[in-house]
Chain A
Amino acid sequence: MSEQPKPTVLYEEHIRAGARMTPFGPWLLPCHFAGILPEHKATRTQAGLFDTCHMGEIGFAGPGALPTLERVFTRSVESIPPGAARYGFLTMEEGTVVDDCVLYVMPDDFAPPTFMLCINAGDINKVLAWLRTHAEPETVIEDLSSVTGKIDIQGPAARDIFHTLLGREISLKRFEFTFVEAAGVTLMVSRSGYTGEDGYECFSMGGGVVSLWQRLLEAGQPAGLVPCGLGARDTLRIEASLPLYGHELSDTITPLEAGFDWALCWEKPFLGRDALLAQKTAGPSRRIVPFQMAGRAPARMGYPVLADGREIGVVTSGTYLPSLEGAGGLCLIQSEWAREGQSVDILIREQHHKAVICARPLYQKEES
């Protein structure tokens, strides 16, 4: 039984704007509008608007919610003040990743739920089932995905454009969030994103996403805001060296291998901690690192990485990177080769092509 890919509530908007649509897991989303290159460039220089309604949102409430989350989420939950969010992982006992996610701690007057977990779009049911298996008693876990819409606005002009629509400025530190009324809708607005740019992620539990999308595009048009698809979302996040579950994270890759020691709270017994501690002590035998191609041929997911005449790993994500005006990506390779400046070869159609291992991120915004 095959299911048709599901469109989001913004489908009609995308079709009207001439988007080329593409399946992404169970979803039907824009791959691009005007083109991946102009959308990527617009997000880096002005602002881009992204339909992220497909992502999952899970609410936690009840006395069991905090102990459940302390057990399944790798960051310290009790240290997160209400109105703040943290990026971390759900890991298995073996230390490998169920999903990467952001946990939001709700201010008292917006609970229930007390906590909201924003997870990847790829397999919401898998993560939900896993969470329910590991829930402490008296935990209410609610899948809010189908009632929660989300739009990301990202880029140097993003916040100003949002403030123009809002009619006032809001002041948040990175990974802080607040609730506002905009375009007639209550939004949870978080200063965060997946592009390496400043900007907001806007969650709506009360509908109004279509109106918000239209009003943001209108408000942002003078400042160069454009709608962006998954194509640009991918090139942007690879440049920022951010992982994508199924590529740099999976049920066979650990957060340590992916470079996220800082997102693991060693002081509490989260699920997978002991396995990860053993891996940390021994040192992970392989690591995710960024690379840049010396030549023009792009290396793509699955292409072998070689050094010293033998295979040392594999490309996990790779493409043309517009800000670098060249090809690059991320790879999972044996740790002894995972050093900045290390020369490697990548096999592309049976030919060796030179690449160099880089520090993360591949693209760094210049501090102004």
Chain B
Amino acid sequence: MSNIPEDLRYTKQHEWIRCDGREAVMGITDFAQSQLGEIIYVELPEADRSCVAEESIATVESVKAASDIYTPITGKIIAVNEAAADDPSLVNTQPYGDGWLVKFQVDQPEQLDALLSPEAYAAIAKE
């Protein structure tokens, strides 16, 4: 059973997002990191660029495969997790903590309502 925190929202592509007022932070879920296997490379976007919902903004690679990461919302990237780029295993060991990927300034907070609840995500986070 993968870990699916109650205070987050989720996407069908197995990303999570936590919103705090006008700022949000995202990463990949415990299910995603477990499916990928050992992550050996994280490619992050430039901070300070804008993005639109469902745009591919990052890549996470395991030994066997590369996986595109999509932004769940429209906004401006304000920070990226260099620690994860330096030590990709953080995405495996702490997918919801130190393995976060990107921080945003959120344009339209109502976009989060369209994302999956933990229950809805649990239904798809299966082998």
Contact = CB atoms under 8 A, between A and B. Distances in A.
Interface in A1-58: 20, 31-32, 35-37
A297 interface: yes
Contacts of A349: 59
A31 B64 contact: yes
Interface in B23-69: 37-38, 40-41, 43, 59, 61, 63-64, 66
Given A37-B63, A231-B63, A298-B61, A20 B41 contact: no
Give the size category of B's interface with A: 10 to 19
Interface string B56-90: 00010101101000000000000000000000000
Nearest to B65: A300
A23 to B, nearest CB: 13
Interface string A231-271: 10001000000000000000000000000000000000000
Contacts of B64: 31, 36, 231, 319
Contacts of B63: 36-37, 231, 235, 319-320
Contacts, number: 34
Query: For the complex, would chain B's binding face be called helix, strand, loop or mixed by DSSP majority?
Result: strand
A327 interface: yes
Contacts of A297: 41, 43, 61
Nearest to B68: A349
B86 to A, nearest CB: 9
A296 interface: yes
A36 B59 contact: no
Interface in A286-313: 296-298, 300
Interface of A: 20, 31-32, 35-37, 231, 235, 296-298, 300, 319-320, 327, 349
A267 to B, nearest CB: 43
A319 B43 CA distance: 15
Interface of B: 37-38, 40-41, 43, 59, 61, 63-64, 66
Contact of A36 (B38, B43, B61, B66): B38
A298 B40 contact: yes
Nearest to B34: A20
- Identify the 5 closest CB pairs spanning chains A and B, nearest first: A320-B40, A36-B63, A37-B38, A320-B63, A296-B41
A319 B40 CA distance: 10
Contacts of A35: 37-38
Nearest to A22: B64
B69 to A, nearest CB: 12
A238 B64 CA distance: 13
Contacts of B43: 297
A20 B61 contact: no
